[in-house]
Each structure stands twice: as C-alpha cells, then as structure tokens.
C-alpha cells in the first residue's frame, strides 16, 4: 500500500512536524493522513483501555511511565474504557472485529484535537502504536528527567501501520565482552522504540560462556572468565599464566528468566545461541574432554590474543577451538545444554551457530578419520554436516526448531525443519529457500553493525566498513526467492571491539534504524533522502535522552586514486545532499573559508596529512577527518 499524505492545514507549527509537513517517525508508517491542529497532553490527561486484559493494561502502564518521566504528569491508567471528560486523554482499544489489513502487530492511530486513540487486533499492536505516538511528541519526551516549559503536543493525524516482516531482530554478542543484565534490559528498551521484536542472544564463544548450565558448572566457574585487556582486540599478546582471570561474567538461569519476561512484556522474543562446533574455546577450557586434540587440557578462555590465521583463501586454527564431532561425550553435553535452554527460553528456535569452523585439526585426527570411514563421509564439510544432523535431532527432541548460520548448508543441505540465517551473503538464504527451508536474511555487507561506519582514519579498526546508506539499501527478499520463506532479517552486533555500553550505542544507532525500516516499512515508501531527514531529527531525540550515536552520515567519504606520473588524486563524496567538503594539506585546520573539494584534488609532493571537514549552510557538521599521506597512497594502490 502506498503512503497517502493529505494536508488540510496550510501551515503547522514546527515543534513536532518536520520540514515539508512530514512526520519524523522511524520506521516509516504504511499510511499517514494529516488533519488540522494538535493534540495536547496535560496534567489532567489519563490513559484508558477498552478491555481489562493484563497485556493491554501493561501497555497502558508502560506508556504512562514513558510519558510521565519527561512531562512530570502522573497519568492514571483506567481499565474497561472508563475515561474522564477532560480533553487530552489516550484510549487503547482492542478491535472487537479484527482488522484483516493490520494483522497481529499492526495498529491504527487516530490523533484529534481532543484525544488519541490507538486501536489494534492484539496488544502488540497497541504497543507499537504507542511507540509511534511517542515519536510524534517533542524530542524532550526522551529526557530521563522532567523538562519544564514544553508544550507536549502531537499533530492531528490518522495512521495505519503494520510490519512487512514478522522477524525483526538484532543480534547482541555478550560473549566477546560481557554486558550486565541491566544493560541488556536497556538494549531491549532501545530496540523496541524502533519496533524490533527479536533479540538474538549470542551467549557463547571463544571469549566466554555466559549461561549457567547446572549440569556443567565449570562452564561458568571457568568458561565465563578471561584476562582483562585494553586496546585493539585480536592484537593482544597472550596472557601470562599468573594474570588474574576475573574479567567477564554470566547470567544465572534466574537472570535469564527475568530477561525473557522483561522482553516478553515489550513483545520481544529472545533466541539463545550456543555456537558450535567452532568458536568453542571457552567450552573446551572448561571441559577439555570435549576435544579430540592432545593438549586441550592446557587451553584457556581467549582474552583477545590471536587464535586463528585468516587469509584470502580461508582460515585455519592455531589452537583447536572446535568440539570434536567424533566424540560421543559432545552429544551428551549438547543434549543437556539444549535441554536446560529449552526450559528457559520459550521461543521456538534455538541457534546452533555453525559458522567459521576451522577443520585443520580434524584433518589429522584419528578419531575424526575413523568417523569418516564409518559414516562414509567424503570430506570435512560432510563431517560438519554429520555434526549438524546430530544437533538438529537433539534440538528437535527438546520441542524446538534449529537455526544456524549459513555454513550449516555445507556438506549435504539442511536437515529436518532447520532454518538458515544467511550472513556471508544473500546466497545462503537463496539456497536454503530453494530447498524449502525458512530463511532469516542478515548478510554482512548490509547488516553487520560492528563494521566501521565512517572513514577508517577515525573509526575503531574493523576488517570492513558499512556506511548508513548501504545499510538502508538492504532488502531481505532476493529476486527469484519465495517471499513466504523469508521470515525477515536482522542487524548483527559483534562486540570484539566494543568494551562498554556507550560505544555499543554508537555502533548500533543509526544503522539499526535503517534495518528496522527495511523490516517494517513497505518497500515502496523507502526514500534515502527522507530517511536521513528523519534520522537527523532522531539525533536530537538521542541528545535529549543522553544516548550516544554515530554522526557518520555527515562525514565525507574520502577516496584516493592513482593519477598521472604517480600522483595521488583525492576526492570527497558525501552520503547526503547539501554538504560541502573543505580541506588542507598544510597542517592547518580547514573551515568554510578553505578550498572546497568540488572535484578530485592532486596531493602536493610534500603534503602534510589531509584534513577534511564538512559544512552545511556555513556551519560545521560531521567530524574532522585526518588521513596520513601513507594511508592515501595505500588507498590509491601506490607502493
């Protein structure tokens, strides 16, 4: 359905309407119709529900808390449609006759001069309608403390809205660096504002095991702890034997049940991931008998030192971080682990990982070679496929469905009802869908929000980049694929280089806004220009909330090429319109009176580092980028 926008008012106050009379809602609603005037929240306002069901009451209570924090208004919540006659009230109503258009998560939002009505078929729709209403109020509604002298107004409008996909997720890696239970709750609060409904919880890896498993206590007494390191993850020197292993943590089963309930109250499912057979060093450090490699009893939980050799042709392991597929103890272990997980997490899927499994130790292992002969397995991919089939049977026996990264396709296709999360490209998702399996699209070039998002000269070093414009171009349904098998998609936040929650926010926003719009809004409404306008408004909302975000869309995209006679040619492109790039090569700091980089510029022979900064309408935006000449040479392919 195309978005329809009717303008009855010639001019509306700018406090809640952006330029051109458009709302600044992310993700973009399906349909918006504007009326004339504003609804005003006031100290006598109240929130009512049409019914007395607990979930609707919970949504109303949460909305009252959100509104009262910044306004100071103590809004009473009334059940059963009881409402005072005061102007400024809010009604949450479940439809008596289901609205087939909006489904289970959609809503209609009617804002008049007198009141706000959010209608939905299910309480989830009421919740998402409430998130939209909050975005219609002034930015100060995001403040964590009371803000005075603000008119709490929302424009008169009719909105009809519903999601494009049912699976709208973010993966949160708490293994590489541990984040507390309260930080996970904060993450959930942040993601639901943009209508995400799934938290993919990456709970185990080489750097830490984060789940209490009562059958295997050493997973948390040993596997949850490593040596604290500061700097660039992956480049750390190996810890000494006497360095304290007291950095990390884990969630008790009671913690996890609390998080499951907290997420459920906000209409979010949590999907646990136990990454096997690779990425299992923390497991092996706890229980070496799960390996087939001699000397595994000397292994330690990784603290960020190098354990893999990566090259353009693939990768090999320096230490064997895999569970042994020929070891029956491994399957007993996984049966107990997945059995305990199934009791904690009600979501239908359990994620087995399955990615980046180095097989160089398997290739020389007598037990694995014997397994190959016994099971008539031709190569190491078929060995891993054997492992995947065994895991799928275990997960199914617990009443769950298996999902894994796209490597689980290798060596023989997908077993049973397993689903695929396609990360290396879209091809894994295409292949799985052609086999009739469900797919979640999360290809790294569009969805990996641990990637650098501005010029690498100022970003924490990661092996690839993902600008906001690229993230916004994500479409979960490739050509030629049955859209019914694409459940949706997600953004993935790996935390090797993320040490604290502030930096986590910086990496997550605004790129996760782009993914949310790809997963919620109709493809026909997508507009990069309009999206960036709305993102800029949300930056002001983040400022009001004290949240960190990346202003990378204002930064120049600096490119270098080889010119005539070995010169370096530099140009600065920009993701958004209306920006001017000014530069210097003389160690001074450019401003709007410096030369403008309208066309490619030749780097002077004795140039100092390039400094480039963007201005808009005579005011600086973005950040100063400083790039050494040697870096420019590398970019240009000059040795």
* pLDDT given for residue 311 in this prediction: 86
Mean pLDDT of the region 370-389: 98
Torsion, Cα of 63, 90, 59, 119 (10° steps): -140
Task: Indicate the pLDDT class of residue 633, thresholds 50, 70 and 90.
Answer: very high
**Domain 555-636 bears CATH identifier 3.40.1800:** no
Q: How far is CA 121 from CA 64, 95, 193, 608, 622, in A?
A: 21, 5, 20, 63, 43
pLDDT, tens digit (0-9, with 9 covering 90-100), for 510-525: 999 999 999 999 999 9
Q: Could you give the angle at the alpha carbon of 283 between the alpha carbons of 391 and 273, nearest 5°?
A: 50
State in Å, rounded, how far the first CA of the chain is from the last one. Answer: 54
Q: Distance (Å, rounded) from C-alpha 394 to C-alpha 388? A: 10
Q: Are strands 89-94 and 47-49 parallel, antiparallel or unpaired?
A: parallel
Mean pLDDT of the region 354-367: 97
Q: Please pick, among 177, 202, 279, 538, the residue that the annotation labels catalytic.
A: 279
Mean pLDDT of the region 135-145: 98
Q: Distance (Å, rounded) from C-alpha 298 to C-alpha 288? A: 8
At a CB cut-off of 8 Å and minimum separation 6, what does 217 contact?
Answer: none
Q: Could you give the angle at the alpha carbon of 55 between the alpha carbons of 50 and 59, nearest 5°?
A: 80
Task: Indicate the pLDDT class of residue 313, thresholds 50, 70 and 90.
Answer: confident
User: What is the phi/psi pair of residue 359, to 5°?
Assistant: -115, 10
Cβ neighbourhood burial of 529 (10 Å; 0-12, 13-18, 19+): exposed
Q: Distance (Å, rounded) from C-alpha 462 to C-alpha 432? A: 29
User: What is the phi/psi pair of residue 116, to 5°?
Assistant: -120, 130
Is 356 designated active site?
yes
* pLDDT given for residue 85 in this prediction: 61
Sequence ranges of the domains in the chain: 19-161, 167-521, 555-636
* pLDDT given for residue 21 in this prediction: 58
* pLDDT given for residue 9 in this prediction: 35
Decide: 438 and 351 in contact? Cβ < 8 Å: no
pLDDT at 15 over 50: no
Q: Distance (Å, rounded) from C-alpha 340 to C-alpha 534? A: 44
At a CB cut-off of 8 Å and minimum separation 6, what does 565 contact?
Answer: none
- In 106-143, which positions are buried (b, 16+ CB within 10 angstroms) versus exposed (e)? bbbbbbeeebbbbbbbbbbbbbbbbbbbbbbbbbbbbb
pLDDT at 33 over 70: yes
Mean pLDDT of the region 299-318: 94
Is 503 designated active site?
no
* pLDDT given for residue 6 in this prediction: 37
3-state DSSP assignment of residue 612? strand
Task: Indicate the pLDDT class of residue 480, thresholds 50, 70 and 90.
Answer: confident
Q: Distance (Å, rounded) from C-alpha 60 to C-alpha 243? A: 51
Is 392 designated active site?
no
pLDDT, tens digit (0-9, with 9 covering 90-100), for 545-567: 999 999 999 999 999 999 988 89
* pLDDT given for residue 125 in this prediction: 98
What is the pTM for the complete model shown?
0.95
Class of the CATH-defined domain 19-161: alpha beta
Task: Name the H helices within 72-217.
Answer: 123-136, 181-192
3-state DSSP assignment of residue 173? strand
* pLDDT given for residue 462 in this prediction: 94
* pLDDT given for residue 84 in this prediction: 64
3-state DSSP assignment of residue 112? coil
Cβ neighbourhood burial of 14 (10 Å; 0-12, 13-18, 19+): exposed
Cis upstream peptide for 510 (omega within 30°): yes
Q: How far is CA 592 from CA 570, 587, 595, 633, in A?
A: 19, 16, 8, 26
Cβ neighbourhood burial of 145 (10 Å; 0-12, 13-18, 19+): exposed
DSSP 475-539: -SS-TTS-GGGEEEEEEEE--TT--SHHHHHHHHTTHHHHHHHHHHS-GGG--HHHHHHHHHHHH
pLDDT, tens digit (0-9, with 9 covering 90-100), for 557-601: 999 999 988 899 999 999 999 999 999 999 999 999 999 999 999
pLDDT, tens digit (0-9, with 9 covering 90-100), for 235-250: 999 999 999 999 999 9
Mean pLDDT of the region 103-127: 97
Q: Please pick, among 205, 207, 450, 496, the residue that the annotation labels catalytic.
A: 205
Mean pLDDT of the region 251-280: 98
At a CB cut-off of 8 Å and minimum separation 6, what does 201 contact?
Answer: 171, 172, 174, 270, 271, 272, 273
Mean pLDDT of the region 366-383: 98
List, in sequence order, every residue forming a beta bridge with 305; answer none if it has no partner: 236
Q: Distance (Å, rounded) from C-alpha 372 to C-alpha 367? A: 9
Q: To the nearest whole percent, how much of the chain has pLDDT over 70?
A: 96
- Residue 214 has a CB neighbour count (10 Å cut-off) of 11
Mean pLDDT of the chain: 95
Decide: 469 and 528 in contact? Cβ < 8 Å: yes
* pLDDT given for residue 80 in this prediction: 84
Q: Distance (Å, rounded) from C-alpha 209 to C-alpha 178? A: 10
**Domain 167-521 bears CATH identifier 3.30.565.10:** no
Among candidates 216, 218, 233, which has minimal Cα distance to 285?
A: 218
Q: Distance (Å, rounded) from C-alpha 131 to C-alpha 268? A: 14
Task: Indicate the pLDDT class of residue 413, thresholds 50, 70 and 90.
Answer: confident
Mean pLDDT of the region 430-439: 95
Query: Helices 328-344 & 380-397, crossing angle to 10 degrees?
Result: 40
Q: Please pick, among 183, 356, 543, 631, the residue that the annotation labels catalytic.
A: 356
- Residue 479 has a CB neighbour count (10 Å cut-off) of 7
Q: Distance (Å, rounded) from C-alpha 548 to C-alpha 505? A: 5
Q: Distance (Å, rounded) from C-alpha 281 to C-alpha 284? A: 5
pLDDT, tens digit (0-9, with 9 covering 90-100), for 91-106: 999 999 999 999 999 9
* pLDDT given for residue 7 in this prediction: 35
Radius of gyration (C-alpha) of the chain in whole angstroms:
27
* pLDDT given for residue 22 in this prediction: 77
């Amino acid at each position: 359905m195309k978005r329809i926008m009717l303008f009855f008012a010639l001019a509306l106050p700018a406090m809640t309407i952006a330029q051109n009379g458009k709302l600044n809602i992310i993700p973009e609603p399906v349909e918006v119709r504007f009326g004339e005037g504003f609804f005003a929240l006031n100290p006598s306002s109240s929130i009512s529900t049409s019914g007395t069901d607990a979930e609707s009451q919970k949504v109303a209570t949460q909305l009252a808390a959100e509104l009262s924090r910044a306004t100071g208004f103590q809004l009473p919540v009334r059940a059963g449609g009881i409402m005072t006659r005061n102007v400024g009230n809010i009604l949450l109503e479940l439809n008596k006759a289901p609205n087939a258009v909006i489904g289970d998560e959609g809503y209609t939002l009617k804002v008049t001069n007198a009141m706000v009505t959010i209608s939905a078929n299910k309480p989830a729709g009421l919740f998402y309608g409430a998130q939209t209403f909050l975005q219609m109020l002034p930015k100060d509604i995001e403040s964590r403390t009371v803000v005075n002298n603000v008119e709490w107004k929302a424009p008169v409008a009719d909105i009809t809205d519903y999601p494009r996909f049912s699976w709208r997720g973010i993966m949160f890696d708490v293994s590489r660096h541990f984040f507390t239970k309260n930080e996970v709750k904060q993450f959930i609060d942040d993601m639901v504002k943009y209508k995400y409904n799934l938290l993919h919880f990456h709970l185990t890896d080489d750097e830490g095991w984060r789940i209490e498993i009562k059958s295997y206590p050493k997973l948390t007494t040993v596997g949850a702890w490593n040596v604290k390191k500061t700097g660039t993850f992956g480049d750390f020197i190996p810890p000494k034997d006497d360095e304290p292993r007291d950095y990390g943590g884990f969630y008790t089963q009671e913690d996890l049940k609390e998080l499951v309930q907290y997420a459920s109250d906000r209409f979010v499912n949590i999907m646990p991931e136990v990454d096997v057979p690779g990425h299992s060093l923390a497991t092996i450090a706890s229980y070496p008998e799960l390996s087939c490699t001699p000397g595994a009893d000397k292994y330690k939980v990784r603290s960020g030192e190098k354990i893999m050799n990566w090259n353009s042709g693939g990768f090999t392991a320096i230490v064997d971080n895999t569970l042994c597929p020929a070891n029956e103890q491994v399957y007993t272990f996984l049966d107990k682990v997945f059995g305990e997980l199934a009791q904690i997490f009600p979501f239908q899927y359990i994620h087995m990982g399955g990615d980046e499994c180095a097989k160089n130790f398997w290739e020389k292992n007598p037990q694995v070679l014997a397994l190959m002969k016994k099971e008539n397995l031709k190569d190491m991919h078929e060995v891993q496929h054997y492992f995947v089939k065994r895991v799928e049977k275990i997960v199914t026996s617990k009443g769950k469905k298996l999902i894994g990264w796209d490597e689980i396709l290798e060596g023989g296709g997908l077993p049973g009802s397993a689903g695929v999360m396609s990360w290396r490209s879209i091809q894994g998702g295409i292949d799985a869908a052609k086999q009739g399996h469900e797919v979640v699209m999360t290809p790294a070039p569009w969805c990996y929000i641990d990637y650098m998002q501005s010029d690498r000269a100022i970003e924490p070093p990661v092996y690839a980049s993902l600008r906001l414009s690229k993230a916004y171009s994500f479409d979960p349904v490739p050509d030629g694929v049955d859209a019914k098998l694409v459940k949706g998609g997600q953004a993935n936040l790996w935390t090797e280089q993320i040490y604290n929650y502030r930096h986590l926010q910086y990496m997550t926003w605004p790129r996760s806004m782009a993914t949310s719009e790809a997963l919620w809004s109709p493809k026909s409404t997508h507009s990069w220009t309009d999206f960036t306008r709305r993102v800029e408004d949300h930056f002001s909302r983040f400022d009001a909330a004290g949240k960190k975000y990346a202003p990378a869309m204002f930064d120049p995209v600096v490119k270098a090429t080889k010119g005539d006679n070995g010169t370096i040619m530099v140009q600065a492109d920009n993701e958004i319109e209306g920006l001017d790039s000014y530069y210097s090569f003389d160690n001074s700091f450019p401003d709007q009176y410096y030369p403008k980089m309208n066309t490619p510029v030749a780097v002077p022979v004795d140039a100092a580092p390039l400094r480039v900064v963007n201005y808009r309408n005579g005011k600086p935006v973005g950040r100063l980028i400083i790039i050494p000449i040697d870096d420019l040479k590398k970019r240009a392919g000059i040795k």
